[in-house]
Each structure stands twice: as C-alpha cells, then as structure tokens.
Structure 1
C-alpha cells in the first residue's frame, strides 16, 4: 500500500456509490427499505456487543444474521425480483422509441383534456426514479398501454376505481384505484380538494409527477416536488411532462 490514490480507486468508489444510490432509489417506497433499516440496527447492536464483550448477545446476533438471509429471500422475493427487473429498465436499457414516447404524451394529455371538458375528476401519477410499489399494493395491479379511452373510463363515476389514482411506469398503466398520502402542510389553499392534496402529498415523499383534473372546475393541474401548478393548457401539460420525464 503506497497511500497514492489511483484512478482505479476513484472509479471503484464512483461505481460502488452509483450502485448503492440506484439500489436505494429502487427500494425506496417498498417494504425493503424497512428491512435495511432493521439490518442497520442489528449490525450496530452486533458491533457494540463485540466492543463491550457481550459474548452471549454477540453469539445470538451472529447466528441470527446467518439465518435471516434465507428468510429475506422468501419474504421479499417480490421486491428482489422487482429490483432485478428494474435494472433492465434503467435509462441505459430502455427500449421505448421516440414514436412511443410521443404517443404516450399525446394520449395522456388528450385524456386530461377530455376529462376536463366533462368535469371528470382524475389523479394520475407518473413514476420517475423513486419506486411507488408501496402505493401500488393498496390499488389494483394492471398492465396496459397508456390510452385516452382507458384512462377516461377508469375515472367515470360508475367505475370502482374512480376515487383512487392510477400509476404509470415507463409509459404503461401499472396500477389503478391507489390511495395516496395527503399533504399535511397548512400553507396550501384551503379550497383544494382531496385529489390535489394527494397530488402534493405523493410528490413530497417521492420524485413522481402527479397530474390532477378538477371535478368541480374542470381545470388541469400538475404537482412536482410538493409544488402545485394549476389551470394549465394541454400544450403546457405536454411540455411539462416532456421536460420532467424526457
């Protein structure tokens, strides 16, 4: 060991940091994040037991950590599968074409305009980097292309899914009827309804983009990073989505 930092060392640090960062984004919003927090606590206690020479506690924890790996694979197999699949869906491997991307923006914007003209309330959340699995678990899982008619039909009052939000991942509708957290801020407009509060709330805890159609006024709005922009046109919506998602 010479103490000289080689370029390979810098590359090594950057690669490991990137992997840790991407893994965190993939598991955030899932049960796996709770597991990691638990592991950190266990390893911290294990470290203390070694330093303080608490042999019995150290023996129990060392055996516990070895056995728990098998339990993790069984309990969190869905999350593990999702992480592995998501690696292939990263921006470096996406197969979506320019035509498909343009069609997605058109279909989503058209759906919002149609619902706006009919005063049909709607809440649409587009996933970005942070996973939305936690909120999808409460809703109904589906897998369908983003389509104007489909979106409009989901938010008809006769639909059992109309009170919840739909979640879109990589241009496809993956869940509907989802319940989202409401913002707890007191500074927002008191006249805002539940959908607008949910749009702000989900974008406060994730990096998603939420689009809202007001049932009362028919206005289209979007929320991002906890900030709500109201009464936007179809053209503004398309440009905004392209800027935030493209």
Structure 2
C-alpha cells in the first residue's frame, strides 16, 4: 500500500481547496445556480449506480452526457461564471464586507414606508462589480443615506421616481438610473418592469436589488437572478445583511 506523506504542503493544499469550495458555496448560495448544481450531482450519483448495477444503456447515455458536461456548465452558468470572474478580479472573494446597521435600517424603514403608501421603488446596492455604466445613465446624487431622501426620490411626480437608485459605499450615488431587464422568458409576463429590472441587474452583476411594488405594496429582493418576494421587516433586514456582507 502507498503511504501518504502528510506535511505542510499537503496541509496548504487541503486548506486552499477547502477555502475555494467555501467561497464557491457563498457565491452561488441563493442563486439559480444551486438547483443546477443539485441536478448535476444527482446525475453523477445515477451514473455511479448504473456502473455498479450494470445498467449498460443508462450508463452509456450518462457517460456521453458527462463527456460534454464542461460545455453544458459553460452554457448554463455563463452569467454566474462572468460574475464570479468579475468578483475575483475585484478581490471580493478574499474579503468580507462590513455592512452598517444604520444603512440597513434606513433602507428597510424607507421600504416599509413606501410599501405602506403603495409607492413603487427600485434600490440597487453596488457590491464588488462596479455599476459605473448604470450610474452614468442616471443623475448623480452623492448624498448620505437617509430614509427621507429615498422616500422623496420615489415620490410620484418627482423627476427621478421612475428610475433606480444606486447605493455605493453606503451613500446614495445616483438616481433615475436605467437597469437592464431580465431576458428570462418566465419573467416576461408574470412580473412588472421594476421587478424584471431588479432581476436583470442581479443577473448582469453581483448587485442586490430591492423592489417595492406599487400595485401590491410588497417588498422583494433580487440576488443572483433569483427574486425573493413578500418579505417582512425581519426577513428583509436579514436578507440584506447576508447579501451585502458576502
């Protein structure tokens, strides 16, 4: 039998692999990529069982599928891969963000206020991937965060209420911003423009987008192309903290 030599190099090797998997889990957590990963794991398990029990036809089919898995992963995960590479380039995979309670509280209280009055709103939080192109299409604000400012911006009839607010480094960077709409067919008929824009922004970057529906008066949060709807105060605070600290 081969004896395993375990030293500093092996320890570093295991540590790096463990850290890489940990960051990968954080990266895809709460995104649509999770369900696809579960599906691929299930296929691998079935492939292994088909070999063990001699199911030749099933094994042959799965072997051919797994042979092209690399291409399948690129097709399925193209937006997630692009977002991950952007985060890696920005260095966000190696650090954890600190999010102030004041920022979360001000945004949440403003959102609750607007939901109660059925005032539509769209607030985007810039994370590791810069949103310079989106900010450039809006109106520069560069003001400190406050619930009063957010409510004022989205008050119907004001010049900037139809666009999105972008929050960068804890301050209101711009308002009246135009976001890319989600191209997902499943979103085209079920959701309004604000919700599709929130999902689109979270698909194209690692941004987190908060939406207040003027029709239903409910609050939703988009991250990684996934929309979590009808959040209450506690759920919204937890979701924002978890998303912004990653």
TM-score normalised by the chain length of structure 1: 0.60
Q: Could you tell me how far 1:142 is from its partner in structure 2?
A: 1.3
CA RMSD of superposed structures (Å): 2.5
Q: Could you tell me how far 1:117 is from its partner in structure 2?
A: 0.1
Give the structure 2 partner of residue 203 of structure 1.
Answer: 202
Q: Could you tell me how far 1:92 is from its partner in structure 2?
A: 7.0
Q: Could you tell me how far 1:235 is from its partner in structure 2?
A: 1.0
Q: Could you tell me how far 1:93 is from its partner in structure 2?
A: 11
User: Equivalents in 2 of 1:229, 1:245: separation in Å?
Assistant: 15
- Once the two structures are superposed, what CA deviation does each residue of 1:71-118 show, in whole Å capped at 9, x if it has no partner? xxxxxxxxxxxxxxxx9xxx9798x7x7xx111110000000000000
Q: Could you tell me how far 1:229 is from its partner in structure 2?
A: 0.8
Give the structure 2 partner of residue 193 of structure 1.
Answer: 192
Give the structure 1 partner of residue 237 of structure 2.
Answer: 238
User: Equivalents in 1 of 2:95, 2:198: separation in Å?
Assistant: 29
Give the structure 1 partner of residue 156 of structure 2.
Answer: 157
Q: Could you tell me how far 1:188 is from its partner in structure 2?
A: 2.4
- Once the two structures are superposed, what CA deviation does each residue of 1:133-163 show, in whole Å capped at 9, x if it has no partner? 0001110011111110100010011210000
User: Equivalents in 2 of 1:179, 1:200: separation in Å?
Assistant: 13
Q: Could you tell me how far 1:220 is from its partner in structure 2?
A: 0.2
Q: Could you tell me how far 1:190 is from its partner in structure 2?
A: 2.0
Give the structure 1 partner of residue 214 of structure 2.
Answer: 215
- Tell me the secondary structure at the aligned position of residue 163 of structure 1: coil
Unaligned runs of 5+ in 1: 1-6, 15-86
Question: How many residues were matched structurally?
Answer: 158
- Tell me the secondary structure at the aligned position of residue 187 of structure 1: helix
Give the structure 2 partner of residue 146 of structure 1.
Answer: 145
Q: Is contact 2:188-2:196 (8 Å) kept?
A: no
TM-score normalised by the chain length of structure 2: 0.60
User: Within 5 A, what are the aligned runs for 1:1-246?
Assistant: 101-188=100-187, 190-246=189-245
- Tell me the secondary structure at the aligned position of residue 183 of structure 1: coil
Task: Name which structure has the greater RCO, CA cutoff 8 Å, separation 6+.
Answer: 2
Unaligned runs of 5+ in 2: 1-8, 17-89
- Tell me the secondary structure at the aligned position of residue 179 of structure 2: coil
- Tell me the secondary structure at the aligned position of residue 185 of structure 2: coil
Q: Could you tell me how far 1:192 is from its partner in structure 2?
A: 1.1
Cα distance, 1:205–1:93 mapped onto 2, change above 3 Å: closer
